[in-house]
Structures are given as structure tokens and as C-alpha cells.
Amino acid sequence: TDYDLIIVNGVVVSDTEIGEYDIAVRDEKIAKVVSRGGLNDAKAAKMIDAEGGYVMPGGVDAHVHLQEPPLFGKGSTADNYESGSRSAVCGGTTTMVTFAPQKKSEDTLLDTLYATHEKAKDNCYIDYSFHLLVGNPSAKALSEFKTLRKEGVSSLKIYMTYQALQLHDGEILDVLLEARKQQITTMVHAENGQVIDWMTAQLEKRKLFAPKYHGTSHPSMAETEATYRAICLSEFMDSPILIVHVSTPAAAAHIKSAQDRGIPIYAETCPQYLFLTKADLDQPGFEGAKCVCSPPPRESEADCDVIWDGLANGTFTILSSDHCPFRFDDNVIGKKSSINDEYPLGHFKYIPNGIAGIETRLALTLSANRLDLKRFVEVTCSNPAKLYGLYPLKGALVEGQSDADINIWYPPGKMQEFELKNEMLHHDVDYTPFEGRKLKQWPRYTILRGQVVWDKENGGLLGKKGYGKFIKREASSLAKPRRVGEWDIHPDGSFGIY
Ligand code: URP
Ligand code: ZN
Ligand code: ZN
Ligand code: ZN
């Protein structure tokens, strides 16, 4: 045989092109992409007829929390590397970048990295890589950035909020300077922690504890201010950043304006900011806790519309899930751990922050039918790969270069609209915040390095735990400083690039 797998009759969508192409796979790689019919004489061990369905690169989800302790309280996120990556593959995501979380009490980043490797090793259904989450930018930690690059880690996340992790502006500059030298991209959680703490105290004085006050305690202003401050610090240091999980129109406007000036500012949004609003937090009883995440779902659908616009017009570079799942009906490590004798109806500030979404990201967004298809591929596959140094190995279908990670969607009209139900999902969580949403699409086949790992009509999950492997990443091919040279204080006392 010539090939391991041939996919015919598909409509192939990349970030730049849509066309009728057939694809041949050999030795885990994309071997050929040719006009429809061009492989008719080729022999392959396996053939898939896409029947006119869209054929896209496998999804790349660059914002995933697995087996992490929550930012306050006890326990751990509901999904471990096994269940999280299983959920991913059943929704068409073939590569994930998860966080290796360093605590404030720890000095080193490398121990964190190696400990996270242990959690993931032999447990993943999909390929994976890590961002280092820097809780303590100690001298030691900063000196380790160089080794991180050698270990295939080319991005970090820092927080401007959460007492357990919040960095002050001088610490952020320390990180940005060292990240710049090592060609590392810094991801910033931009919310003003002191504003949130102040609002929380105001609400507590008034004895307002219900889940919906999580939203009140995280006002849009706190995100908008921190976003602009992060942009200023990044521009000053000429060190590229990505603002994670952007939710407010005003923050998006600051990002757009920096981008228009040519500053390397990148931004991410997530399905929760496209589909959820304050009304989802404002539910009877404790129900609203299901949608507690930070930043919170915003005011109204008009806000969601602005986020959709930013996704369409390029303000947002990537769409990630921010999969950070907590079980609802679990009073030890889940959402209900915030309920106790003192707060029998719960207290918003103790509700673990985060929601599940690694499996639903692609189908929800594609089913909404609000993005150009090439743009859909760009924000869910190609751009995350480019931004984080995985391109064109991942996020693309380039002959001889890309891994054969492929999603084949149902042909138009072949799938009946259906209501999403948590029981359809493969995570280890007892709910989805998107329960009852109407979907028109779901991946029919998902292929990872040439293996069919998901076949919705024939066995569902076919992939095996442990097939997923760690991918070392290069420097970003998108995010670069504008000037070359070292940023430093010069012998004459002036500072800047030389
Ligand atoms: O609420 C969220 N987003 N939890 C996950 C942690 C984070 O800040 O991304
Ligand atoms: Zn965050
Ligand atoms: Zn997150
Ligand atoms: Zn000089």
C-alpha cells in the first residue's frame, strides 16, 4: 500500500483556503493534499469517505486546567489528565496546552514542570504541552526561564488577581523582561485583584452571598483597567503578551487599539463569553454556581455580540475553552464546598472558579454559524498553534510537515439538530454550563497522528489512553518583540534596547 489512510470527498478548510481536496496520510503525517479524485489510483490501508463534510485540522485548545488545586479552598479540578484529554478527543480537540501551576510558596519552576509531566505521562488521549503558571517570580524562578525553553516550554501565565497568585506590577516587569530575553510569550489574567477584594468586602457588609454576586464582585472595570495596565507594561518592556479569557467590550477595545498601533498584543476569548450572561449566574438557589468563572459572564447578549465581533475581526487571536471543571454536587472539592454551617446557601467568594468546556468548544462555536469557516479554523486550530510555537506541526494540514490530526464534520444536512446534554460528554463533571443548547454539528471522525481516535457512528471513543504524547514547543511564530537586542539599563544609566 502507498498510504496508511486516505480521506476522500471532503471540503478541506484551512485558515487560508476552502476547497475540494483528498488527503493521504503516511507515518502519522499528512503526506498529500490533492484535488478531489487525485488519489483514486492510490492504495491505502484505510479509506474514509467524508461525503462532502468539512475536513479541518484537529482542534488545538491552548487554555486547559487539569489536576490543579483550586485557587482557594481544598481539593482539585474534577478532571485529571486522563478524563480531561478523553473529553477533549471526543469533541475534536487533538492537542491541548495545560498549566503547570507553581504555588507562591515554591521557589522553583522546574520542579513544577517535572511534577506536571508525571501527572500527564501515559495518561493522555491527545498530544499535550505545558504553560508554566508563575505564582512566585523568585530570582531562582526567573533564572530557570532558559531551561524552560530547552524543555519545550515557550509560554507562561501570570495573574493580576487572586491573593494566592497575584503579582504586583514590579513582579510583572521582572517576568516580562526575562520572558523577552528567552522568547517566551506571557499570558496575563487581567483583572484588578484589589478592586475585586474591595467589592467583595462591600457585598459581605451587606450580607449578599448568593452566587450571582460573584458577578458583582468582578466588575467589568476591574478587567478593563487591568487589561490596559498589562498592555502598558508589555509595551514599555517590548515583550509580547496574550491577554487570556477576555470578556468585556472595553477590554477588547484597548486590545484593538494597541494592535492597530502595531504592538504585539494578542488576545483570547472563550465560549462562555460568547454564550453565557449574567442571567446564567442569577438562578434560583445555588444553581448559578455552575456558571461561576473568572472573569464572570457579562451583562447581556449585547456584550456577547461584541465578543463575537472581535472574534470575527481579528481582535481575538484564539478561542480556547479555559476548561477548569469543578463538580457541582460535591461539597468537598466541588462548587458546593462553599456551603457550610456559616453560609448554608453558600458564599460566592468560596465557590471554586471555573467551568468545563474542552469537549464542547468546537461544536458549540461551529453550530452557532457566526464565523467564517476559515476564521473558525484560524482561532480554534492554526492561531493557537502559531502563537505557542506548534505550527505547522499542529493546527495545519501541510504536506510533509503537519501531523495527521484531522476533524471530519458531518456533511450539511446529515446531522439532526440536537440538545446538548451532560450525559453525552466524556469529562468527569456532573454538569455542563451549556446544557440544553441546540447544536447542529459534532465531529464525526477525529484523527490523531493518523489514527482514528473518535468515530461517532461506530464505537465513539476509539483512542487509547497513553497514545497522546508530550510536544516540545518552539518560540511563537506570531508574538515577537518589535525591536531586536537586549532590553537593559545601559552603562550611562539610560535604558532601552541596544
Ligand atoms: O474561572 C476560571 N477561569 N478559572 C480558571 C483559572 C483561570 O483564571 O483561568
Ligand atoms: Zn485566568
Ligand atoms: Zn484558566
Ligand atoms: Zn546604549
For the chain, the first-to-last Cα distance in angstroms comes to: 57
Please give the pLDDT value at position 498.
Answer: 58
State pLDDT tens for residues 237-275.
999 999 999 999 999 999 999 999 999 999 999 999 999
Query: Alpha-carbon dihedral of residues 276, 218, 103, 136, nearest 10 degrees?
Result: 120
Degrees to nearest 5, angle at CA 186 with 185 and 189? 145
- The residue nearest atom 2 of ligand 1, judged by CA position, is 354
Specify the amino acid at residue 73: G
Position 484 pLDDT exceeds 80 = no
Q: Which ligand has the nearest atom to the CA of 71?
A: 1
Q: Cell 468582578 sits at which residue?
A: 218
pLDDT band at 356 (very low <50, low <70, confident <90, very high): very high
Mutate to test the pocket of ligand 1, among 189, 223, 247, 293 (most ligand atoms within 8 A of CB): 293
The atom number, within ligand 1, closest to the CA of 244 reads 9
**Average pLDDT estimate for 428-439:** 98
The atom number, within ligand 1, closest to the CA of 294 reads 1
Closest CA relative to residue 248, chosen from 208, 302, 206: 302
- The residue nearest atom 6 of ligand 1, judged by CA position, is 354
The atom number, within ligand 1, closest to the CA of 353 reads 1
Show the cell assigned to 281: 449566574
Show the cell assigned to 138: 523568585
How many helices and strands, by DSSP H and E, does the chain display? Answer: 15, 21
**Average pLDDT estimate for 385-407:** 98
Q: What is the DSSP letter of 431?
A: -
Degrees to nearest 5, angle at CA 183 with 180 and 188? 65
| Length reported for the chain | 498
State pLDDT tens for residues 79-120.
999 999 999 999 999 999 999 999 999 999 999 999 999 999
Please give the pLDDT value at position 270.
Answer: 98
State pLDDT tens for residues 22-40.
999 999 999 999 999 999 9
